[in-house]
Every structure is written in C-alpha cells, then in structure tokens.
Chain A
Amino acid sequence: MNFKCGPKTAAVLLIIFTVSFMLAIKAFALTSGEITKGFTCTCGCNMLVSACEGSMECTPAKEITDQVVQMIEAGQSKEEIIQYFVNTKGEKILAAPTKKGFNLIAWILPFLAIILGAGGIYIFIDKCLISGKDTAAESENYNKKQVSEGKYLALFEKELKDFEL
C-alpha cells in the first residue's frame, strides 16, 4: 500500500491523537473501594484491604472498610480519611509510598535508571556507529589493496604467459 506521508505528518497525527485522549480523563465519585484499594491490610497478609476482605474473612480488613464507609457518610474527604488512618495506624497502611521526602526516591529512581540506561545506550550506539565508520574505512582500504594486488597479480600472470610463449 502506498501512502504519501512524511515523518512529520505521522508524528503530528500521533501527537494529536494522544493529546485528545489525554483530555478525556474522567474524575470518579468517592467510594470506599477507592480508598481501601490504597490501604494494605493490617492482618499481616500483605494484601490490599479490598482484596483481603473478600478472600480471608479478615476482621481488621472489615473494620477498616466499615470505618471508611462511616467517614465517607460523615462527609470527610479522601485526603482527610487517608490522613486519619496514617495517623492512627502508621505509614505502613498505605499501599504505596507517599510522593514526598525520602519516599520520593522510590518513585524517581526507576525512571532515573531508565534515563541513565538510555543515555548509556546512546553512547554505546554512537561509539558503534563511529567504529562502524572506521570499519568502513578499513574495508575501503582493504578493497583498494585487493584491487591493486589483483592488478599486479594479473600483470604477473600475463608475464608468465608471455614467458612460456
């Protein structure tokens, strides 16, 4: 199939497509599940509260869920509820590290490692491309040498022939 499209057109199309869908992100109403999916159960199972409650008949998980429901009904915001549980049960209740202070390292390091890795790959490829050019130059010299050697070899063979004659 022949499509007339330059790289710029393709890139612009993809960017427009991506941005238009980014704008479509929708906010959801607050539910107890939304909050308990961010909490780790305190029973020691290491599962999310929402998961542990369903699978293990877990009392701590049920207590947390009931309390969250009550707090939502009392009109408390998500942030207030989360802060209350962090204050009473410790930071361990959060299923993910907070994005501040020392915990920020947890979030940043994976991306930093990938960026550094990408830099390393760029340097590696760049080096390989340079050595590729060297090899190309070497290969050109070798070809020239082959040609000149071939020329002398042909002359030599011609002389041998003449000598025999």
Chain B
Amino acid sequence: MSEIGLYSILIAMFLAAYSSFTAVVGIKSRRGEMIASAENAAVAVFGLLSLASVALIYALITRDFQIEYVAKYSNRSLSTVYTLAAFYAGQKGSLLFWGWFLSLYTAIVIFQNRRKNRELLPWVLAVMMAINFFFIFLMVFVTNPFERLPYTPLDGQGLNPMLQNPGMIFHPPTLFLGYVGFTVPFAFALAALITGQLGDDWIKTTRKWTVISWLFLAAGNLLGMEWAYVELGWGGYWAWDPVENASFMPWIVGTAYLHSVMIQEKRDMLKVWNMVLIILTFLLTIFGTFITRSGLIASVHSFGESSLGWMFLVFLFVTLIISVGLLIYRLPDLRSKNQLDSLLSRESSFLYNNLLFVGIAFTVFWGTLFPIISEAVRGVKITVGPPFYNAVITPIALTLLFLMGVCPLIAWRKTTLKNFCKKIFFPAVISAAGAALLYILQIRSFLVLITLALCIFVSINLFLEFFNGMRTRHTLLQEGYLRALWNLVARNKRRYGGHIVHFGVVLLFVAMSGNAFNVEKQVTVNKGESFKIKQYILKYEGLAEYPTAGKDRVVASLTVFNDDKKVAVLSPEKVLFRGQEQPTTEVAIHITLKEDLYVILAGYGKDWATFKVLVNPLVVWLWIGGVIMALGTVVVMLPDRRKRKQSKSEDSCAEAT
C-alpha cells in the first residue's frame, strides 16, 4: 500500500507541473482542449493525493512500522482516533494533508467556475497548481511520508502525549483549512493582475472563499486556545508563542482584507490596497509555515529544526517577487477614482480599522522576528514574550474595539460631527455609567474598566442597529417584531451577520478582561483535608491508579463546595505514557458562566497531594464568543434567495435568446 502512496505523490507532482504549465499554454494559445486537459490533470492530482492520504492512513492503522513516519508518530497502544490524527501530527503527514486540501480546493474551484470566469480560471489553476507542485515536490524529495526504515521496529515511538487530546482532532484540520483556503483568493488576485481584469469580479467570486477561510482560521486559533487551556495545564490559553503568532498574523490581515474589500465593492476604491492585503495574507500563511518548520525560532509547537523551513523561505521570496512585480506592472490600471466625501464617513472608518489591523499584524511580526534581529545586531539572545505583546497590542486592540462600536453609527459617504456626537452620546453615557458601576463593585483595574466600558458601548450600538431596523420594519410594513427581526437579518445577511460576528468579538474581549482577576494557589494537603480558594472549598478525597496498556493514570479526587454547597467532584490526573519519561498533566475544570475553577495535580505521595488551583473569571465567554462569531459568519454566508432567483431568471433569459 505504501508503494501506491509513494507513486501517487510522484505522479501527482508531474501532473501538478503539467496542469500549471498546460493552463498557461492553453490560455496563451487560446486552445480550449489544453485548458480542459489542465483542469482534468488538476482533478487527477486531487485523486492521487487522496489515494496517497488513504495509503498513509492505512499504514498507520495497520501499524506498518517500517514506514518511518508511522514508527515515529504511532504505536500499538494508540487509540484509533489518535492513530487517524497522527496522519497530520508530524511534518511529513501534515504536508501531505496540506497538499490534499489544496488539491481538493482546486477541484472545487474548477467545478464552481466551469461556466464563469473562463478568462481568469486558467491562470487561477496555474497559480494553485504551481503552489501545490511546490508542496508535492517537498513530499517527494525532502520529506517523503512513505520513507522506509532499513528495519522494522517491533513498536512505534507513539504520539506525543500532549497531542493525545480531542483538540488534536479538530485544531490542525481547521487551521489547515484556513491556511489553504486563502490560496483561492490569492490565486484569483494574481489571475486578475495577470489578465488585467481588475474589476471586482474576482473579489465577488472569492468572497465566500475568503469568509470561509477566515472562519476556519478563527476557529483554528480558538480551538488551539481551548486545547492549550485544557491540555498544557498552565491555566492560560494564549502565550504569544511564535507558532501561535504565525496563525494569528494571516487571520488579522485577512480580517483587514474582509473589511477593506467592502469599500471596493461599494465605492470602487482601494484596489491596490486590497491586492496588497490578500497577497500579504497568503505570504503570512507561508511565513507561518516557515517559522513552524525551520526551527529558527524556538517554540513549544514547532516541528523541530529542518532544512524544509529554508525551502519555504525561498518559496516565500519567489512568491513575494512575483506578486509585487505583477502589482507594480498593473499599478496604473489599478488606480481607481478615489473619492471620499468626509474624514468622518464609513469608508474612512474602514481605513482606520485597516490601519489598526495591519498595525497589530506588524507588531506580532516584529515581535516574532526581533530576537533574531537582536542577536544579529547585538549578539545577545533575547526573548519577546507575553509582556511585550500585551503591552503593545492592548491599546491598539482597544482602539479597534472602539472603532467597532463607532462604525455602525457612521453613514457611508458623510456624517457630520454634530450628528455623530448625537448618536454616540447615549451609548457613551450608558457605557460610562456601566464602568462606574463596575468601579463601585470593586473592579479597580483601569484596563479592565476601559475594556468593559468599550464592550458595553459596542454592544449597545449593535443592539440599536438591530432594534432600530426591526422597529422601522414594524412601523412601515406592519410586521410583528419577531418577523421584522427575521426579515431584517434575512434581507441583509452580510450586514447583520457581520454585527453578530462583532458581538462574538465583544465577548472575546470580555473574557480576556477576566485575566486581570485570576487567582492562583498551590497547596499540599493530606487525604481528607480541605483548603479554600476564593469562595470555593476543596476537600481532597484520595488517589486512585488506573494502569492500562498504553499509559498509567493517577487520578486525584476533590469534592468542591461553593459557599458550603457541593457543586462538583473534580478529578485532576497525572498520566505517564509508555515510552515517556515525564508524566503529563490532565487538568480538571469546574466551568460556570462566572468563572472556571481550574485544578492541576502538581505532585502526590502515599497520603498527600499537591494541587495548583486557579480561579479564572469569564473564560467560558471566550468559547461562547467563538461560537457566536461562527454563527454570524454562517449568517453572512447564507445564500441570498433573491439574488439566486435573479441569476436564475438571467440564465433562463440567456438560454432563451
């Protein structure tokens, strides 16, 4: 089976090159059959990479330890679920996974555009297949997932215990879906630059691709946070690690693109800027991959040092040169009639938010690279960690939050200062009153008060957006309130879906503000003894050991009382996997809307145990906010029935004529 996989990627590599080359020749020589052949080759690449993926999964399931990848990332005691997840746990498998996703996306793009964008498609195909050729080339010559060992080990090394968490099943695929997804708008952007079709057709075609990729990247980041929170056992969810930064940067620039692209659609402006943003987003996905795989920057997540990273760096530079070259070449054609009526307009506010988004991305990029720059200039190794990012990004993010609240109040084209102040007054007073109330309730952190005041401010504005729209429909069209709300959202999904996403973001800010009130305690107690943290009393009931084939689990039992009322029994664990020297920690969390009681079993003896206990306020709102963001994105993505009817009638008219 592994031979099938090996030959599949080998043939796929040639077909990817053929598809990319033939698409270009086909469009240049205006030969439809060549373009069709290029499309067929691209679909064949998808088939072959699917076959290669199946072959690797088969090798993992059948424990074919002669394959180096299988021996390194699985063992006989690994459960089926994690054996499947091992497919993308290592460098080689993850590249195959990436390549497979890219080939799948290419096949979908071909299918979607079989009757439209026929001028752009060959170039889109050429770009996507060239990128996939690079990935498959790496698989064949540098990191072959089907590489065989000269001997067959009796058992494999097994999957890293930290990866044996449900997060492993969902986090990497969602992140990859996001990363790879941004290839589609990037390819269309390059195709538009090559063909000179610089209108907003390519933007409209790729709008859903961009939104989906953005959603997957957001979900990937959030799932990664959740995974870090429950698995790493330090009580936090974001550590500004270089690899976390690598996935955050394309997401934040992609967010800027999603906003600025609306200006091009509405006002035919910012064509150059939108090109820059989408190119930057794609390049940042490659930069992230370079960081993860080069070993250049130390990270708890990285795949380790390898020559692969440098190949990504070369690829990054080649892509950068081609993209910037095309952009400069088309600069005269991209110049649009930029007309702004006022400094205070929706268009201008989008420019300000773009500045802040890109500012955050730049800060993260700069912070990630600064240790290398420092070492090169001063010869001194330094670290750029959470204190730097928190200090620099917090004020920028809060300004962005303020803009998020202000934007719905500003009209397109022009808003007078007087009108703006009138609109802002009521939400500003309520949020100031809310902050004053929080101050009275003993919340004395300035940053938290500002954050929560802004959250109230944004929430009120978002609420008023829905409420005013609903009331208008109710008054003018005599619709019931619920029907009016439904129709309001249904008739402008993009706008109100966006508002829902923004409300999800508000909840993320609320959750993050809770960090300021984390309480931490480390205690050693004997069996039967109790200890207190905030209003919780925890009674240590004892230890139990559960040896299994693959691991030994030591489970502590704690009864939790909240103000004398029993609320939970928590079971933090220490797990020693076979073949591992260090035990890993499985935390136990009692989750409420107000706070998480987070318990780590730090050490244990015959009758005693040491616990590290944290009370982390508002964490659950992070996950709720994430779900609301996803829901909002789904609303944005829902098909527009009116537009569909319109395009159907246009199609039937075209057929009739």
Where the two chains meet, the residues of A that have a C-beta atom closer than 8 Å to any C-beta of B are 1, 3, 5-7, 10, 13-14, 17-18, 21-22, 24-26, 33, 37-38, 40, 44-48, 50-57, 90-97, 102-103, 106-107, 109-111, 113-114, 117-118, 121, 124-125, 127-129, 131-132, 135
Contact = CB atoms under 8 A, between A and B. Distances in A.
A44 B381 CA distance: 13
Interface of B: 232-236, 239, 241-242, 269, 298-300, 337-343, 348, 351-352, 355-356, 358-359, 362-363, 366-367, 370, 374, 377-378, 380-388, 391-392, 396, 417-418, 420-422, 424-426, 428-429, 432, 435, 439, 444-446, 449-450, 453, 520, 582-583, 585, 600, 602, 612
Given A97-B374, A129-B340, A111 B392 contact: yes
Nearest to A52: B234
A50 B234 contact: yes
Contacts of A92: 380-383
Given A1-B426, A10-B425, A24 B444 contact: yes
B87 to A, nearest CB: 26
B298 to A, nearest CB: 5
5 contacts: A22-B446, A52-B234, A106-B384, A128-B338, A132-B340
A96 B387 CA distance: 6
A54 B600 contact: yes
Contacts of B450: 18, 21
Contact of A5 (B232, B234, B425): B425
A102 B234 contact: no
Contacts of A102: 374, 377-378
Contacts of B338: 124, 127-128, 131
Contact of B370 (A55, A97, A117): A97
Contacts of A53: 234
Given A57-B582, A97-B382, A117 B359 contact: yes
Given A102-B377, A113-B359, A132 B298 contact: no
A111 B435 CA distance: 27
Nearest to B420: A7
A107 B392 contact: yes
A86 B361 CA distance: 30
A96 B239 contact: no
Contacts of B422: 3, 5
Contacts of A91: 380-382
B301 to A, nearest CB: 9
B359 A110 contact: yes
A55 B444 contact: no
Contact of A17 (B382, B424, B435): B435
B439 A24 contact: yes
A94 B424 CA distance: 43
A103 B358 contact: no
Contacts of B374: 97, 102-103, 106
Contacts, number: 177
Contacts of B446: 21-22, 24-25
Contacts of A124: 338, 351
Interface of A is mostly: helix
Nearest to B302: A46
A47 B300 contact: yes
A114 B357 CA distance: 10
A109 B374 CA distance: 14
Contact of A109 (B242, B366, B385): B366
Nearest to B301: A46
Given A51-B236, A124-B351, A135 B298 contact: no
A37 to B, nearest CB: 8
Contact of B355 (A25, A57, A118): A118
7 A-B pairs with least C-beta separation: A95-B385, A51-B234, A96-B387, A128-B340, A96-B388, A110-B363, A55-B233
A109 to B, nearest CB: 6
Given A56-B582, A113-B359, A117-B358, 20 more contacts: A5-B421, A5-B422, A6-B421, A7-B420, A17-B432, A21-B435, A26-B444, A26-B445, A37-B387, A40-B385, A48-B385, A54-B585, A54-B602, A96-B385, A96-B391, A102-B374, A106-B366, A110-B392, A131-B337, A135-B337
A5 B432 CA distance: 16
Contacts of A129: 340-343
Nearest to A11: B421
A122 B351 CA distance: 10
A152 B423 CA distance: 48
A121 B263 CA distance: 15
Select the residue from B362, B425, B582 with max chain A CB neighbours within 10 A: B425
A125 B343 contact: yes
A12 B568 CA distance: 49
B582 A47 contact: no
A94 B396 contact: no
A7 B449 contact: no
Contacts of B382: 91-92, 94, 97, 103
Given A96-B384, A96-B388, A114 B359 contact: yes
Contact of B612 (A7, A54, A118, A121): A54
Contacts of A44: 298
A127 B339 CA distance: 9
Contacts of B378: 102
Contact of A47 (B234, B420, B585, B602): B234
Contacts of A90: 380-381
B277 to A, nearest CB: 13
A114 B358 CA distance: 9
Contacts of A111: 392
Contacts of A14: 428, 432
A125 B351 contact: yes
A37 B386 CA distance: 9
A44 B367 CA distance: 18
B582 A10 contact: no
Nearest to A46: B298
A12 B449 CA distance: 18
Nearest to A17: B432
Contacts of A50: 234
B234 A54 contact: yes
A104 B453 CA distance: 31
B227 to A, nearest CB: 12
Contacts of B445: 25-26
A28 B248 CA distance: 32
Contact of A21 (B362, B367, B429, B449): B449
A24 B516 CA distance: 15
A103 to B, nearest CB: 7
Given A38-B387, A106-B367, A54 B235 contact: yes
A3 B359 CA distance: 36
A132 B233 CA distance: 57
A92 B338 CA distance: 48
Nearest to A94: B383
B590 to A, nearest CB: 17
